[in-house]
Structure formats: structure tokens, C-alpha cells
Structure 1
Amino acid sequence: MALDDVREAADRVRGWVRRTPLMDLAPGDDRLPGVAVLKLETTQHTGSFKARGAFNRILAARARGELDPAVGVVAASGGNAGLAHAYAAARLGVPATVFVPRTAPRTKVARLESYGASVIAVGTEYAEAYDAAVAHVERTTAVFCHAYDQPEVVAGAGTLGLELLDQCETVGPVDTVVVAVGGGGLVGGVAAALEGRASVVGVEPVGAATLHTALARGAPVDVPVAGVAADSLGARRVGAIAWEVVRRTGVRSVLVDDADIVAARRELWQRYRLVVEHGAAAAVAALTSGTYRPEPGERVALVLCGANTDVADLAAPAPGTDPPS
């Protein structure tokens, strides 16, 4: 996975994904020290960056003649990846089958169905849904769309990084980009796109530390998954593609706890009127908690990667936070 792969993906998905905006912050913001801009990927199709990789995966398969328009694509995910692939398939006029655990919330299933996907519930864990999706591919020759560990999916996610660099030509360069890490598709793609031009910091919940554990042990390993962000950052092992890019580019990893994630998510709403899911708030929590402290003069871009969340608990002010005037 290298810059050329991301550039190719950017050419392929142009016109299919949104160019998401930057939000600049007031200099010296005391709660987000060093942060110059927020990248609002929350405004992407289906509410997360996943649409980038989904479109790149399906369009690439079609260009290679691998996509049977009568059979379409298959994915295993009740979350952002499933939504993105269902949406991309619908836009491209091909069927999508999405396997989910039986425990998937009805609201997510309904949203998948609203994009025209055929949703099949299997087992009680993601691993069972994944195995069922792989078996479906063997039976039907559908194009399998991985949530985070396929070349086209990672390269598609990386287009966010290229876009950010282009936008920073107007607002000023950044030294560091901070992103949340689940399976690693986003951090791998962005690190490949920014290699040699900006550093990348990956942020994970303490309860789902796939990358942090891999760096400590020298190789990806399975980790237990728990916590408020497990629905979007709940991969059990960092992907092989991301791992290769992380080692090559020197991505740093920091951990945040659930309390800081919850507080950061509420603060984004109270201070900036931005709605994000807990996974996106994990990246913010690295700055608000002080887990990541920028050097003096360091300019940071903070990626808000997803907005698929229940807003019911954002109404009350966070402790010690005044609502915006």
C-alpha cells in the first residue's frame, strides 16, 4: 500500500464520494491544543469515511470484470462498513447482501434495508457473520467487500488524506494527523497517503487496542474487545495491510479510556455543535485528555471519522461545560 495506490483510488472514486469540509479552530483553543483543523468526514455519504473504500472496492472489481451485476457484492458488518457497501452497491446498480449478527440493532438493520440490501442475520458475533459471508462468496461468486483489510478498501480510505493535504494548501500545512483506529483501514490508508509529508497518530480505546498491542508485541494478535466505541472500533486484530504501512511510516499509537471518549463526544456537541459517534470521539479524546500532547508550534489535523450515533444523550451539558452562546 503506497501513495500511488491512493492516487489511483482518488481518481476512481471522484464524483462518487463527497469532498468533506474542514472546520478551522480559533488559535489557542484551550481544549484542543495544537489542533488547527477538524476534517468533517461525518458529512460523508452514510455518515462515515467507509464510503470511500466501498466505492473504490466495487468500482475496481467492476473495472477488472469481477463483478457480476446479477450477483453483486457481499459484506459482513452491521455497522459503518455494511452501510457504506450497501449504499455504494445501490448507487452502482448492483445487489448487496450483508451478513450481520443476530444481535445487531434493529435500527441498523432497517437502515441497511433502506439502501436495498438483503440482510441476513447469523450467529451472535461478527466472526460468525464473516464466515457466512465468505461461504456466500463461494456459493455465488459475489464480490467480497472486507470492512478494513483489502487493498482497495484501504486505498479508498487513504483518499481522505490526499484530500486533506489539498485543502491545507488554503488553510496552511499540518504536521500531524490524528485518527481513530479500529481494524486499521483508515490509519493505514491515511499514513500511506501522507508518507513523508505529515506524521500520523492512531488513537484507540483501552478496551480495543489492536494496533497498540501489535506494536508492543511486534506483530498483530487477537485482543479482547469491550467499551463504548466497540461498535465501530471493535476489530479483534489490526489488519495486515495497515500493519505493514504503520511499521513502514512510523505511525504512533496512543490509548484513551471510555470516560474520556464519552466526555470528548459530549464536548464536541456542546462547544462546536458537532455530532460524532464514540469511535470518532476517541481521536478527540487523545487531545482533550492530554494523552497526546502536541509540541509547541505543531499543527494538528483531527479527523472526525463518523457520525452514526444515537443523539439522545447529547442534550444535557457535559459536567463543567457551558453551552455555546
Structure 2
Amino acid sequence: MPEHFHLNTPLLESVGMSKRLGSTVYMKMENSQPSGSFKIRGVGHLCQQLARKSKGVVCASGGNAGMAAAYAARKMGVPATIVVPSSSPQLVVQRLQDQGATVRISGKVWDDANAEALRLAETEGLTFVPPFNHPLLWEGHASMITEVSASLGAGVKPGAVLLSVGGGGLLCGVVQGLKDAGWMDVPVIAMETVGADCFNAAIKAGKVVTLEDITSEATCLGAKTVCQRAFDYSQSGEVTIVSELVTDQEALHAVQTFLDEERVLVEMACGAALAAVYSGLIPRLQDEGRLPALRGPLLVIVCGGGSVNVQQLSILKQKLQS
């Protein structure tokens, strides 16, 4: 069995984004992972630690964590059951089945599907794979910052890290990676869409809160409650985390611009981070004194995503531009 299931992904300079921002932008291309997103880092690590002798794994996911769990299970020769909410595109269900997973549809949003996954883990003796809330996941995700550090070379560090937040697993992994690299003075810009903004809502409330519903089309950001660790990082002061929101329209525009300029199609959840560059948000944060001047390149985590294709993109355009 391989040492791990993820790839060391390319770190590419974006000429288009650098030109817009007026300083160098590097993209960590997590869309090129075998499961389509960064999730394979943490999920693969967790499965290798916990599921080697398992009867099977079960994961609730609107897409990417499920794809990672299905991929890791297939590589390990272990059955996978993925529980998806009814909001998941048929494309996702098909891709999960192509990985050999059994797909069950349960509830309207991720939280409903997760309750069913926990029940199956209990009743069928399966290994539960959480999509974002587990230290082994964060440990796995931290590897992307280790790779960035090696790619940038000695003495170079990012001016800031830009990423999307759903349940907070990527954020926790990146912060852990920054700690490991001795980069705790590098601020993190944490992006969500309006209507899938559990992290921003928690920061505003001063405690972890649960959203009533997910109203954003960025369904892969669709956790109603952020993980406690992500919220704790936002309060601890050990790393600067700037939480911001963009509209679905801005996230979709970012997806389209990224496709035109970088020839890569990513999902709306990833578009939320890209929109910080394309909508001019970063200079605005600097003008407001919420983000310091960048002392190094901006590192964008292109988290990827398997729930998008050209047809899905045109459906989103019709929905959001009407």
C-alpha cells in the first residue's frame, strides 16, 4: 500500500491574478488530486490510520469528502458507503459510484446525511469518516503547506494564504501547516459565500452557531455548523484569520474567469476563494486595515471539487443570472 494517497500538487504562478492584484500570486493546485480536491490528504490519512482492518467506511458528503473516502477505500480494498443529501448533483452520485462506492441519499442538507452516516456506522459496524472535524484530517491537510514551503525554498514565505471555508477542515489543516512551518505570522483569508457562512456567523456571534439553512448554490460549503477548532483558531490570536463573504454571483464569476484564464474548471466552493482576487476584495481589506500589506506572494489554495462540469456550470449561470 502506498505511503499516502495524495499527490504533491503543482504550485503555479498565476499571471492573470498577479496582474490584477499587483503582486505575485501562487496557486496550490489541489484540483489535480486523484479524487478531484484537497480532501484526499486528510481523508486518505485518516482512512490509513483507522480503516485498515475495517468492514467498510461510511462518510456523509455533498461531494469531495465522499469522493476522497471512496477513492481511499477502493485503493485499500475496503467497501465504502457514501451518504449524500438530496441537493447533490446527479454528477456527484455517478462519480461516487464509478469509484465503487454504494451511494445512499438522505435528507436535504449535509447535516441530515451526516446523522444517517453516524447511524450506519453504529448499526453496521463501519468506520465513520468525518468530512472536516477530526485531528487526523487536519494533520493530512497540513501536508499541503509543507509542500509549499519546500517549493518556495528557504527564506521565502507567503504574504497571506487565501482559502475557502465549509466546515473548517481545510482552515484547520492550513493553520496546523503554518505552525509546522514556523509561519504563524502569515495571515489567512477565509472565504465563504452568503448563505453558506457558518464560520463568519460564528465569528459575529462570538460562539459556534448553527445556520437555519444553506441557501447558497455553493453546496460543497454547505455545513450548517463550523468545527469548534476552526472557531477557536479565529479567537486565539495565534494566527490572523480574516473572515469574508462573497455572493454566489461573485463566486460563479470567479469560476468562469478562472476557467478562461487558467483553463481549469473548479466548483463554486473554490470560486469563493478566487473571488477575493477577482472582485478586488484584497485591496479593500488592506484599505480597511484588516489585512496587512503582503510581504510575500499570495498563496491561493485551489481546493478543486468534483461536483462541476460544463452542464452544471450552465445550470448555475441560469439560476444565478436570472
Deviation at 1:168, TM superposition (A): 1.3
Aligned pair partner of 1:245 in 217, 229, 233: 233
1:32-181 matches, within 5 Å, as 32-62=21-51, 67-69=52-54, 71-169=55-153, 172-181=156-165
Closer/same/farther in 2, CA of residues 32 and 310 from structure 1, 3 Å limit: farther
Deviation at 1:157, TM superposition (A): 1.7
In structure 2, distance between residues paired with 1:55 and 1:28? 31
In structure 2, distance between residues paired with 1:46 and 1:193? 21
Closer/same/farther in 2, CA of residues 149 and 17 from structure 1, 3 Å limit: same
Deviation at 1:314, TM superposition (A): 6.6
User: What does residue 276 of structure 2 align with?
Assistant: 286
User: What does residue 24 of structure 1 align with?
Assistant: 13
In structure 2, distance between residues paired with 1:102 and 1:76? 12
- TM-score (norm. length: structure 1): 0.84
Deviation at 1:296, TM superposition (A): 5.7
Deviations 1:135-194 (A, max 9, x none): 111112211001111111122122212211221117943121100111000011101210
- TM-score (norm. length: structure 2): 0.85
In structure 2, distance between residues paired with 1:226 and 1:216? 19
**Corresponding residue pairs, total:** 299
In structure 2, distance between residues paired with 1:36 and 1:104? 32
Closer/same/farther in 2, CA of residues 301 and 13 from structure 1, 3 Å limit: farther
In structure 2, distance between residues paired with 1:260 and 1:163? 30
In structure 2, distance between residues paired with 1:103 and 1:209? 17
In structure 2, distance between residues paired with 1:128 and 1:173? 40
1:288-307 matches, within 5 Å, as 288-293=278-283, 295=293, 297-307=295-305
Query: Contact 1:191 / 1:251 at 8 angstroms: preserved in 2?
Result: no
Q: Percent identity?
A: 31
User: What does residue 9 of structure 1 align with?
Assistant: none
In structure 1, distance between residues paired with 2:129 and 2:140? 12
Deviates more, 1:246-255 or 1:89-98: 246-255
In structure 2, distance between residues paired with 1:183 and 1:194? 19
Query: What residue identity is the alignment partner of 1:278?
Result: M
User: What does residue 187 of structure 1 align with?
Assistant: 171
Deviation at 1:125, TM superposition (A): 3.1
In structure 1, distance between residues paired with 2:312 and 2:113? 30
User: What does residue 7 of structure 1 align with?
Assistant: none
In structure 2, distance between residues paired with 1:126 and 1:25? 33
Query: What residue identity is the alignment partner of 1:147?
Result: P
Query: Contact 1:182 / 1:235 at 8 angstroms: preserved in 2?
Result: yes
Query: What residue identity is the alignment partner of 2:229?
Result: I
Query: What SS class does the counterpart of residue 92 from structure 2 fall into?
Result: helix
Deviations 1:109-133 (A, max 9, x none): 1211111111122233323321111
Query: What SS class does the counterpart of residue 19 from structure 2 fall into?
Result: coil
Closer/same/farther in 2, CA of residues 95 and 43 from structure 1, 3 Å limit: same
Query: What SS class does the counterpart of residue 182 from structure 1 fall into?
Result: coil
User: What does residue 309 of structure 2 align with?
Assistant: 310
In structure 2, distance between residues paired with 1:156 and 1:139? 28
Closer/same/farther in 2, CA of residues 51 and 251 from structure 1, 3 Å limit: same
Query: What residue identity is the alignment partner of 2:252?
Result: V
Query: What SS class does the counterpart of residue 123 from structure 2 fall into?
Result: helix
User: What does residue 224 of structure 2 align with?
Assistant: 236
Query: Contact 1:192 / 1:245 at 8 angstroms: preserved in 2?
Result: no
Which ranges in structure 1 are unaligned for 5 or more consecutive residues? 1-11, 319-325
Closer/same/farther in 2, CA of residues 269 and 227 from structure 1, 3 Å limit: same
